[in-house]
Structure 1
């Protein structure tokens, strides 16, 4: 591979990063706070490629140009995958095979959760349901209709769940957060839903099980731009 080709591939890689971060597609792979680092990296790669091209034009060393390793073609692989495959966000297939999030409860620590906000139903995120169910046996969830959003997944036994992925940095460290849903038939896997249901006392106790809600209302919704928490 010649240096000019290597510079071109470097510029293409930077352009892909800029395109991903300028839109919403980067949210399939990394957390939302990564937008600016991706933009900076993309701009840096493009500038680096341009500088290398200018240096080559001012250089008379033709032999140096012929000794760029073939491994440099690997720079093109991420760009090719992005344009031809564009992997979607993680979904039901991964959730069914991954271990669900476990809340480690320290019995020596007292956790005093505030009451849920006024107004029914109460919009609540899945990780808060997991925490409240684990630490106080769902006492602060009792007798309140909860509004949850997530995609549909199921286990080998056929139980279906309202599911989301929690992510610290990128999709590689994603953990499954899910709440079992009963009372209605499951929509198709990966379908995003908004459900209103009531927590079943005793489920999710101590982080040893999955919280469960009895669904009173179910609505099919579009997947959000950012499908991770």
Structure 2
């Protein structure tokens, strides 16, 4: 590979980053706050490529054609994958193989959870349900109808879950959050749903096993733009 080819690949990589950040595609791989760092990286790569191209003009005029290692072709791999495959956000296949999110238990005196807000049903995130079930035995969830959103996954035993992934930075550090569901037949894997359900008392205590809910209503929905919480 010549130095000019490497410069071209550097520019292509920068262009791909800008293309991802300009739309919603980047949300499949990183958190929403990463948009501007991606834009900055894309602009920097393109600037570096242009500067390298300008610098190489002098070396070519001197009759020197610089070469770089063949491994530099690996720069093109992420761009090729994005344009040809465009991997989706993490889904049921990964959730089945990942460990559950373990909620660290503290002494009861160290945790004071506020009551749920007014409303029927009350919309909650999955991690809120996990924490409430683990920390206070689900006392704040008792006798309340909950509205939950996530995609369908299942384990090897056939139990199905309302599931989401939480990420800090990118999909590489994703943690699965799932709540066992009963009361209705499971939709297909990876189908996003909005459910109205009630917490099954005594489930999820300790944060090792996921809590369970009994579903009263279930509605298939489109996957949100940002599928990570």
TM-score (norm 1): 0.97
Per-residue deviation at 1:109? 4.5
1:30-179 equivalent positions in 2, closer than 5 A: 30-59=30-59, 60-63=61-64, 65-107=65-107, 109-179=109-179
Does the 8 Å CA contact 2:137/2:204 hold for their aligned counterparts? Answer: yes
CA deviation after TM superposition for structure 1 residue 110, in Å: 2.5
SS in 2 for 1:205: coil
Cα distance change of structure 1 residues 156 and 108 upon mapping to structure 2, 3 Å threshold: same
Distance between the aligned counterparts of 2:179 and 2:74, measured in 1? Answer: 41
CA–CA separation in structure 2 for the residues paired with 1:13 and 1:109: 52
Tell me the number of residue pairs that the alignment of Structure 1 and Structure 2 aligns: 228
Question: Where do 5+ consecutive residues of structure 2 fail to align?
Answer: none
Deviation at 1:108, TM superposition (A): 5.8
The aligned residue for residue 222 of structure 1 is: 222
1:110-168 CA deviation, whole Å, 9 max, x = no partner? Answer: 21111111110000000000000000000000101000000000011111000000101
SS of aligned partner of 2:90: coil
Offset at residue 106 of structure 1 (A) = 1.6
- Runs (5+) with no aligned partner, structure 1: none
2:212 paired residue number: 212
3-state SS in 2 of match to 1:62: coil
TM-score, structure 2 length as denominator? 0.97
CA distance in structure 2 between the aligned counterparts of 1:30 and 1:6, rounded to whole angstroms: 26
Give the superposed CA RMSD: 1.0
